Amino acid sequence: MHVSHFSFGRIVINGHSCEQDIIIDRNKISIRDKNPSRAFKSQYGHTPLSVNENIPWHCNRLIIGSGMYGKLPVLDEVFAKAKKQNVYIQVMPTPDAIKEINSVKTNFILHLTC
């Protein structure tokens, strides 16, 4: 995969521009569906990542790009489920996460704004 551009709210991967959060599951890109986590928005002031979402667990490592400034909340239940799934999670600002985009057996959730 090749990221040719990343800025607040926009990423270009393999020549395709995305302006929504994305999931990379075994090199397949899809849009993150935040709707299952919206119920938690009032508690965090921002829609967090919860286990109610389609998290790409089929990997050894899951990198969560937590936004340009690292503000995406990740609920504790995500870490607990990762432990049960034997998936190592790393949370880092999205600019740092995209540096790892070609890591072997690694899936991604990339938040593109804050």
Residue 15 near residue 35 (C-beta atoms within 8 A): no
> What fold characterizes domain 19-110?
Hypothetical Protein Mth938; Chain: A, (3.40.1230)
pTM (2 decimals)?
Answer: 0.95
Give residue-wise pLDDT tens across range 39-71.
999 999 889 999 999 999 999 999 999 999 999
- CB contact burial 91-102 (16+ within 10 A = b; e otherwise): bebbeebbeebe
Going residue by residue through the chain (114 aa), what tens digit of pLDDT does each one get?
Answer: 999 999 999 999 999 999 999 999 999 999 999 999 999 999 998 899 999 999 999 999 999 999 999 999 999 999 999 999 999 999 999 999 999 999 999 999 999 998
Name the residue ranges covered by the structural domains of the chain: 19-110
